[in-house]
């Protein structure tokens, strides 16, 4: 564990804290009533250092991105070297070695012939690109009527206008945009016979209009950390083939070891036509995303007709700094036992969270890979709960009715035990004495 002294020092109340409160617009919170954000000055390993000198063990790895922990020297040194050589160059008409290497490595790591990589800079955009690919795939082939994306309840795929339309319309955070968003078919995941029959009926009615089936494989993340098994994905693959549509796996959350395998599609042994990646792609260091398609999908865009090209191109697409970070992150997966560490984290969380399963108010305790979830009947006053976690020396960010843990795969065992002890203390108290006021929050 990195010592406190090794982190950069700062005055306990720097001027930027007050200045920022006057101008910053924070995500997923009501600015009028939300508690102040925690002022950060340094990170190291699995720890966050606050401006007042306190350190917190991070239980969520900055929205699941920091899979190797913070400030890993291999990633830091790769970014520094790339900064000296070429921090950025446009990808329109130009190319560079970090992107070329990264695309080849991702194609080699992903199963099947997922071998054409389109880079962007966020998970939401990666999913938008996948949706555009799917719709244009059919348009390029002369099928103009396939312009819908089938998605599922409990799903979350991003915050942009197109991706909001394929999130859960009721439980998600985007219900207030109903009427503005494109209407997409939403079904229950085919976990059982009744839901499978309902999906088949929907596809019988609308399959001719559906360009792709979009799903988060094995774990639906920000929609509630909801688990399903490989059989569900096999059913979706079968339906996509039967109805002639594509299958998209959104692995923005599940990719890079979080479910216990490098990719969830690999663990499920189901090959999608398109997969999206982001979050842990760079080890939580830089913004980068990728939409990876099979040869069959890519070849539909090859034509003498310029209109058959994929018309998408983010300004910072394939940013060399981000690609360098991602290559260094893949080096770490190759050189260090990340998947074994993910399994060990999961087993420790399973044992550490088990005592809460019988607590009143706890609906379920579930663990998959390096994801631990406590689902309550209800959670009230999320700001107060988050504050209690901070008092216990950890950073945990509950949402909806769940408290979840997605720590760095490299979290030291003593810090993981401290994190779990704090969760047992705070969540045990929540279960016994639920609060009265509800505060909306996400992620």
Active site residues per annotation: 28, 156, 250, 279
CA 266 to chain centre: 17
User: 372-386 burial by CB neighbour count: b if 16+ within 10 A, else e?
Assistant: bbbbbeebebbeebb
Comparing CA positions, the residue from 126, 119, 129 lying closest to residue 90 is 119
Which own/partner pairs from 358-366 qualify as long-range (CB within 8 Å, at least 24 positions apart)? Answer: 359/427, 359/428, 359/431, 359/432, 360/431, 360/432, 361/430, 361/431, 361/432, 361/434, 362/427, 362/431, 363/401, 366/225, 366/227
Q: Are 222 and 443 in contact (CB under 8 A)?
A: yes
User: 408-423 burial by CB neighbour count: b if 16+ within 10 A, else e?
Assistant: bbbbeeebbebbbebb
Comparing CA positions, the residue from 281, 241, 242, 238 lying closest to residue 258 is 281
185: left (phi over 0), alpha (psi -120 to 50) or beta: beta
In whole angstroms, give the CA distance from residue 249 to residue 258: 15
Which own/partner pairs from 200-208 qualify as long-range (CB within 8 Å, at least 24 positions apart)? Answer: 200/239, 202/150, 203/150, 203/239, 203/242, 203/243, 206/148, 206/150, 207/243, 207/244, 207/245, 208/145, 208/146, 208/243
Work out the burial of residue 141: count CB atoms within 10 Å of its CB; fewer than 13 is exposed, 13-18 middle, 19 or more buried.
exposed
CA 191 vs CA 197, 359, 387, 404: distances in Å: 10, 27, 37, 23
CA 27 vs CA 22, 160, 442: distances in Å: 15, 14, 9
Which own/partner pairs from 48-52 qualify as long-range (CB within 8 Å, at least 24 positions apart)? Answer: 48/395, 49/4, 49/7, 51/10, 51/11, 51/12, 51/13, 51/14, 51/17, 52/12, 52/13
In whole angstroms, give the CA distance from residue 212 to residue 136: 11
């Amino acid at each position: 564990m990195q010592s406190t002294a090794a982190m950069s020092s700062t005055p306990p109340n720097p001027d930027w804290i007050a200045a920022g409160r006057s101008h910053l617009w924070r995500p997923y919170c009501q600015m009028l009533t939300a508690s102040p954000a925690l002022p950060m000055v340094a990170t190291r390993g699995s720890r966050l250092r606050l401006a007042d000198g306190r350190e917190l063990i991070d239980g969520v790895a900055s929205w699941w991105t920091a899979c190797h922990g913070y400030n890993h020297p291999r990633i830091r040194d790769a970014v520094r070297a790339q900064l000296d050589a070429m921090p950025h160059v446009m990808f329109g008409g130009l190319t560079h070695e970090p992107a070329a290497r990264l695309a080849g490595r991702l194609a080699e790591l992903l199963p099947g012939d997922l071998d054409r990589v389109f880079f962007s800079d966020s998970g939401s955009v990666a999913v938008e690109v996948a949706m555009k690919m799917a719709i244009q795939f059919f348009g390029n082939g002369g099928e103009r009527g396939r312009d819908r994306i089938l998605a599922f309840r409990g799903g979350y795929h991003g915050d942009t206008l197109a991706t909001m339309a394929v999130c859960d319309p009721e439980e998600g955070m985007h219900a207030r945009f109903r009427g503005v968003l494109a209407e997409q078919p939403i079904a229950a995941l085919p976990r059982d016979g009744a839901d499978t029959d309902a999906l088949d009926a929907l596809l019988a009615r609308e399959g001719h209009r559906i360009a792709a089936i979009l799903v988060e494989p094995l774990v639906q993340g920000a929609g509630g950390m909801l688990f399903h098994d490989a059989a569900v994905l096999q059913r979706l693959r079968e339906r996509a083939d039967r109805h002639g549509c594509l299958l998209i796996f959104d692995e923005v959350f599940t990719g890079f070891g979080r479910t216990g395998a490098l990719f969830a599609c690999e663990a499920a042994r189901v090959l999608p036509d398109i997969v999206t990646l982001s979050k842990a792609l760079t080890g939580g260091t830089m913004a980068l995303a990728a939409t990876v398609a099979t040869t069959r999908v890519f070849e539909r865009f090859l034509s003498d007709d310029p209109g058959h090209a994929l018309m998408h191109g983010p300004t910072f697409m394939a940013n060399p700094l981000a690609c360098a970070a991602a290559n260094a992150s893949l080096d770490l997966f190759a050189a260090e036992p990340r998947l074994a560490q993910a399994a060990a984290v999961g087993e420790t969380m399973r044992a550490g969270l088990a005592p809460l399963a019988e607590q009143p108010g706890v609906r379920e305790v579930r663990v998959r890979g390096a994801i631990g979830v406590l689902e309550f009947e209800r959670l009230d006053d999320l700001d107060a709960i988050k504050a209690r976690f901070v008092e216990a020396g950890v950073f945990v960010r509950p949402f909806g009715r769940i408290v979840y843990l997605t720590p760095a795969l490299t979290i030291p065992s003593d810090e993981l035990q401290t994190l779990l002890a704090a969760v047992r203390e705070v969540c045990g108290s929540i279960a016994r004495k639920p609060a009265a006021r509800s505060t909306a929050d996400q992620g």
